[in-house]
């Protein structure tokens, strides 16, 4: 992707190789391929750099994706200024990566001091990350903290910039996904997984959670009744202690008011 200063009109690669046929194919002679990769550009003019760019990507088994029927919005002008409009910014891909592109678009918004419109590509891949813990009962439910958006973006800029110089796509992919996942988790808030209660009940403390987990982990059904009693006991103990505290406060409060 980038600005090549070459106006190619609707020209496409001449030579192309693929995995099934390693020998170069002439796109202008292979009708099915010529139709598939045929371009339609709003820019009907060419300049001197056109032939050099066509030679370059033809020799490297690359195709221009601007103006392909698969992505209708990609045929628009990419450079707009007072002297006229043109297409000089391109997305140029090899066939394996071409098959992984879901969409190519040309955006209207751009920097005030630039005449070039941004190119946007959407990749077809599934984000992955390691589970938080092996025990599914201990996994956390997180929601992104919108108040920390600026911190999140700064974190990404710091951690993703060093990856821009990496040529190993497997290494790049793994570190990109794990870095993004780590940053999302870092600036997220843990919430209750109980959809009925947005807030966890106060009696559901650490001891109560441990007792509930013990019920789920028990193998022998005859032992489950005892685990359930322990769980209920921790709940009753919390409620009883809270009632005692409230009773104590009710006796002390009048004295405090009097003094």
Give tens-digit pLDDT for 199-252: 456 666 777 778 777 877 766 666 777 777 787 777 677 776 766 666 665 555
**Which region, left, alpha or beta, applies to residue 67 given φ > 0 means left and ψ of -120 to 50 means alpha?**
left
| Position with higher pLDDT, 250 vs 197 | 250
Cβ atoms within 10 A of the Cβ of 223, count? Answer: 12
Dihedral over Cα of 149, 151, 155, 157: its sign = positive
Query: How high is the pLDDT of residue 64?
Result: 94
**CA dist., res. 124 & res. 257, Å (int):** 68
Burial of 87 (0-12, 13-18, 19+ CB in 10 A): buried
Length of the chain: 259
Residue among 143, 142, 135 nearest 210 (CA): 135
Query: How high is the pLDDT of residue 204?
Result: 67
Distance of CA 8 to the CA centre of its chain: 33
């Amino acid at each position: 992707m980038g600005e090549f200063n070459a106006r190619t009109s609707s020209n496409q690669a001449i030579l192309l190789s693929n995995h099934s046929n390693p020998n170069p194919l002439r796109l202008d002679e292979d009708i099915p391929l010529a139709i598939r990769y045929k371009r339609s550009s709003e820019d009907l003019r060419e300049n001197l750099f056109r032939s050099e760019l066509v030679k370059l990507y033809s020799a490297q088994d690359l195709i221009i994706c601007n103006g392909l029927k698969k992505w209708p919005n990609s045929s628009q002008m990419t450079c707009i200024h007072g002297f006229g409009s043109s297409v000089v910014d391109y997305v140029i891909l090899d066939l394996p990566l071409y098959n992984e592109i879901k969409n190519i678009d040309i955006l209207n918004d751009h920097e005030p001091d630039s005449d070039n419109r941004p190119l946007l590509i959407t990749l077809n891949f599934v984000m992955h990350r390691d589970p938080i813990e092996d025990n599914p009962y201990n996994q956390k439910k997180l929601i992104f903290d919108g108040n920390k958006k600026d911190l999140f973006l700064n974190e990404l800029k710091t951690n993703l910039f060093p990856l821009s110089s990496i040529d190993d796509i497997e290494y790049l992919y793994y570190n990109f996904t794990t870095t993004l996942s780590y940053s999302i988790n870092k600036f997220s808030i843990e919430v209750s997984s109980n959809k009925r209660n947005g807030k966890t009940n106060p009696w559901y403390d650490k001891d109560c959670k441990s007792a509930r987990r013990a019920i789920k982990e028990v193998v022998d059904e005859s032992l489950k009744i005892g685990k359930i009693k322990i769980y209920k006991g921790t709940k009753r103990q919390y409620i009883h202690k809270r009632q005692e505290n409230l009773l104590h406060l009710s006796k002390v409060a009048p004295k405090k008011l009097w003094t």
